[in-house]
Structure formats: structure tokens, C-alpha cells
Amino acid sequence: MSSNESSVVLLTRAGCHTCVLAFEKLTAVCADFGIVPSAVDVDQAAATDPDLRAEYGDRVPVVLLDGREHSYWEVDEPRLRADLAVTRAP
């Protein structure tokens, strides 16, 4: 990852319909910036990182931008687009 390429991660949970919809929207937004988002299931991750589920498990889906919480329960598309535009600027 280059210094001006953002990391976008969606924290999810199996069986979460809202998470599925959020990932679809996140993928579409990120595609406009040449970014492929990833997803992390907080329950699966709890085996090695129980703090992740403790911190975010009640709020999934959660969007992390460069490791920091960006939005939860939904993708804040206008804000994400603005933040990605700033981070992608030369």
C-alpha cells in the first residue's frame, strides 16, 4: 500500500443483513477511488483479538478508515467520499 492509499475495512458479523448491504455500498464507493475494501467478522476475530468484538460488536457494521472508526450502522457515503478524496490527493 502506498502512502496515499487508504485502508478501508468493514467490521461485520455472520447473519447480519445490514452488514451485507453496507459491504455492497462500501465496495461501490471504494471502487471509485481504486480501493478494494476488506471485511472482518468480529466474532471470528475474537479468537485472536477479543477487544475488537468488545469494542465494535454491538455496532456492526462499522467502517474503519485507515484503522480508525469512520461510521457505524451504515456507510456515511458523503463523508467517506470526502475523506477518501483528501487521502488520495497528490
* CATH number of the domain to which 36 belongs: 3.40.30.10
- Give the domain extent around 57: 8-88
- H/E stretch holding 12 reads strand 8-12
Q: Rounded CA gap, 67 and 3, in Å?
A: 14
The answer to whether 43 touches 53, Cβ cutoff 8 Å, is yes
The C-alpha cell at 86 is: 483528501
Model confidence pLDDT, tens digit, residues 50-65: 999 999 989 999 999 9
Asked whether residue 2 is assigned to any structural domain, the reply reads no
Banded model confidence at residue 88, pLDDT cuts 50, 70, 90: low
pTM of the model: 0.89
**Residues of the chain above pLDDT 90, percent:** 86
Residue 17 is assigned to a structural domain of this protein: yes
Q: Inter-axis angle of helices 17-31 and 77-88, to 10 degrees?
A: 40
At residue 3 the predicted structure's pLDDT band, cuts being 50, 70 and 90, is very low
Beta bridge partners of residue 40, listed in sequence order: 11
Query: Is position 75 within any domain?
Result: yes
